[in-house]
Protein backbone atom coordinates (compact mmCIF):
# COMPACT_ATOMS: atom_id res chain seq x y z
CA UNK A 1 0.00 0.00 0.00
CA UNK A 2 1.30 3.45 -0.93
CA UNK A 3 1.00 6.21 1.66
CA UNK A 4 -0.74 9.24 0.17
CA UNK A 5 -0.85 12.17 2.62
CA UNK A 6 -3.24 14.11 0.38
CA UNK A 7 -5.90 11.46 1.10
CA UNK A 8 -5.80 12.43 4.79
CA UNK A 9 -5.85 16.17 4.18
CA UNK A 10 -9.64 16.65 3.67
CA UNK A 11 -10.33 14.83 6.94
CA UNK A 12 -7.80 16.99 8.76
CA UNK A 13 -9.47 20.14 7.37
CA UNK A 14 -12.85 18.86 8.56
CA UNK A 15 -11.52 18.08 12.04
CA UNK A 16 -10.03 21.58 12.31
CA UNK A 17 -13.31 22.97 10.98
CA UNK A 18 -15.23 21.18 13.72
CA UNK A 19 -13.01 22.86 16.32
CA UNK A 20 -13.62 26.25 14.68
CA UNK A 21 -17.38 25.51 14.65
CA UNK A 22 -17.23 24.95 18.41
CA UNK A 23 -14.86 27.84 19.16
CA UNK A 24 -16.98 30.33 17.20
CA UNK A 25 -20.07 29.34 19.19
CA UNK A 26 -21.94 27.92 16.20
CA UNK A 27 -23.06 25.03 18.43
CA UNK A 28 -25.23 27.42 20.45
CA UNK A 29 -27.73 27.70 17.60
CA UNK A 30 -26.72 24.78 15.38
CA UNK A 31 -26.59 22.20 18.15
CA UNK A 32 -25.55 18.62 17.32
CA UNK A 33 -26.83 16.05 16.50
CA UNK A 34 -29.54 17.86 14.49
CA UNK A 35 -27.35 20.95 14.06
CA UNK A 36 -30.22 23.21 15.03
CA UNK A 37 -31.65 24.22 18.39
CA UNK A 38 -35.12 24.41 16.75
CA UNK A 39 -35.64 27.86 18.22
CA UNK A 40 -37.02 31.02 16.65
CA UNK A 41 -34.92 34.13 16.17
CA UNK A 42 -36.49 37.55 15.56
CA UNK A 43 -36.18 39.30 12.22
CA UNK A 44 -34.41 42.64 12.12
CA UNK A 45 -36.64 45.29 13.73
CA UNK A 46 -39.15 42.86 15.25
CA UNK A 47 -39.95 43.47 18.92
CA UNK A 48 -40.59 40.22 20.73
CA UNK A 49 -43.80 40.44 22.76
CA UNK A 50 -43.19 40.00 26.50
CA UNK A 51 -45.36 36.89 26.75
CA UNK A 52 -43.30 35.15 24.03
CA UNK A 53 -40.03 36.25 25.58
CA UNK A 54 -40.81 33.92 28.49
CA UNK A 55 -40.95 30.76 26.34
CA UNK A 56 -38.01 28.46 25.73
CA UNK A 57 -38.70 28.41 21.98
CA UNK A 58 -37.51 31.97 21.43
CA UNK A 59 -33.83 32.82 21.06
CA UNK A 60 -33.57 36.49 21.97
CA UNK A 61 -30.81 37.07 19.40
CA UNK A 62 -31.38 38.80 16.08
CA UNK A 63 -28.91 37.74 13.41
CA UNK A 64 -29.90 40.61 11.11
CA UNK A 65 -32.18 38.65 8.80
CA UNK A 66 -34.14 40.66 6.28
CA UNK A 67 -37.49 41.49 7.88
CA UNK A 68 -39.54 41.53 4.66
CA UNK A 69 -40.72 37.90 4.61
CA UNK A 70 -41.13 37.77 8.37
CA UNK A 71 -43.05 41.02 8.78
CA UNK A 72 -44.67 42.08 5.50
CA UNK A 73 -46.34 38.90 4.30
CA UNK A 74 -49.54 37.31 5.54
CA UNK A 75 -47.62 34.28 6.81
CA UNK A 76 -45.03 36.40 8.59
CA UNK A 77 -44.62 35.89 12.32
CA UNK A 78 -41.65 38.18 12.95
CA UNK A 79 -39.40 35.16 13.44
CA UNK A 80 -37.17 32.84 11.48
CA UNK A 81 -36.45 29.31 12.64
CA UNK A 82 -32.80 28.38 13.13
CA UNK A 83 -32.13 26.04 10.21
CA UNK A 84 -30.49 22.67 10.53
CA UNK A 85 -27.06 22.36 8.95
CA UNK A 86 -27.57 18.66 8.23
CA UNK A 87 -27.13 18.26 4.49
CA UNK A 88 -25.97 21.86 4.09
CA UNK A 89 -23.37 20.56 1.61
CA UNK A 90 -26.23 19.58 -0.71
CA UNK A 91 -27.89 23.00 -0.79
CA UNK A 92 -27.22 25.80 -3.20
CA UNK A 93 -29.31 28.59 -1.74
CA UNK A 94 -28.27 30.28 1.49
CA UNK A 95 -30.01 33.06 3.35
CA UNK A 96 -33.76 33.05 3.88
CA UNK A 97 -34.37 33.98 0.24
CA UNK A 98 -31.54 31.98 -1.35
CA UNK A 99 -29.41 34.95 -2.39
CA UNK A 100 -26.06 33.27 -1.65
CA UNK A 101 -25.26 30.40 -3.95
CA UNK A 102 -22.47 28.70 -1.98
CA UNK A 103 -21.12 28.38 1.53
CA UNK A 104 -18.10 30.35 0.35
CA UNK A 105 -20.34 33.24 -0.67
CA UNK A 106 -22.31 33.01 2.58
CA UNK A 107 -19.09 33.39 4.60
CA UNK A 108 -17.76 36.24 2.44
CA UNK A 109 -17.99 39.62 4.24
CA UNK A 110 -18.39 41.35 0.85
CA UNK A 111 -22.01 40.10 0.80
CA UNK A 112 -22.93 42.80 3.33
CA UNK A 113 -21.86 45.68 1.06
CA UNK A 114 -24.64 47.85 -0.42
CA UNK A 115 -23.43 47.33 -4.01
CA UNK A 116 -22.92 43.56 -3.70
CA UNK A 117 -24.36 41.46 -6.53
CA UNK A 118 -25.47 38.09 -5.14
CA UNK A 119 -24.63 34.99 -7.11
CA UNK A 120 -27.83 33.20 -6.08
CA UNK A 121 -31.39 34.46 -6.51
CA UNK A 122 -31.53 38.23 -6.63
CA UNK A 123 -33.55 41.05 -8.10
CA UNK A 124 -30.68 43.49 -8.21
CA UNK A 125 -27.52 44.55 -6.42
CA UNK A 126 -27.67 44.86 -2.67
CA UNK A 127 -26.43 43.25 0.49
CA UNK A 128 -27.33 39.76 1.62
CA UNK A 129 -28.45 40.52 5.14
CA UNK A 130 -28.27 38.23 8.11
CA UNK A 131 -25.98 35.90 9.99
CA UNK A 132 -22.79 37.90 10.48
CA UNK A 133 -21.04 34.97 12.16
CA UNK A 134 -18.01 33.48 10.45
CA UNK A 135 -17.37 36.51 8.26
CA UNK A 136 -14.17 37.52 10.07
CA UNK A 137 -12.40 34.17 9.90
CA UNK A 138 -9.11 33.80 8.06
CA UNK A 139 -9.26 32.21 4.62
CA UNK A 140 -7.74 28.98 6.00
CA UNK A 141 -10.24 28.84 8.88
CA UNK A 142 -13.13 29.39 6.47
CA UNK A 143 -11.89 26.53 4.29
CA UNK A 144 -11.68 24.27 7.32
CA UNK A 145 -15.12 25.31 8.58
CA UNK A 146 -16.63 24.65 5.15
CA UNK A 147 -14.86 21.28 5.02
CA UNK A 148 -16.55 20.39 8.32
CA UNK A 149 -19.96 21.65 7.18
CA UNK A 150 -19.66 19.44 4.12
CA UNK A 151 -19.48 16.39 6.41
CA UNK A 152 -22.87 17.01 8.01
pLDDT tens digit sequence for 44-91: 889 998 888 888 899 888 888 878 878 888 888 899 899 999 999 888
Q: What is the pLDDT of residue 9?
A: 64
Is residue 56 a part of any domain in this protein? Answer: yes
| Interval 5-9 mean pLDDT | 52
The DSSP H or E segment spanning 5 is helix 5-23
What value does the mean pLDDT take over residues 101-121? 90
The total of structural domains in the chain comes to: 1
Mean pLDDT, rounded, for 24-43: 94
Mean pLDDT score across all residues of the chain: 87
- Domain assignment present for residue 48? The answer is yes
Alpha-carbon distance 127 to 137, whole Å? 19
Range of the domain at 68: 39-81
Report if residue 23 sits inside a domain. no
Amino acid sequence: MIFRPQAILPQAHARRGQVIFQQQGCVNCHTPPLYTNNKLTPALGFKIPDDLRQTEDILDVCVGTDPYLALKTRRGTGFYKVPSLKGVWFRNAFGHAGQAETLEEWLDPARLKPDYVPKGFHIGPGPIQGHPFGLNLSAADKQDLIAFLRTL
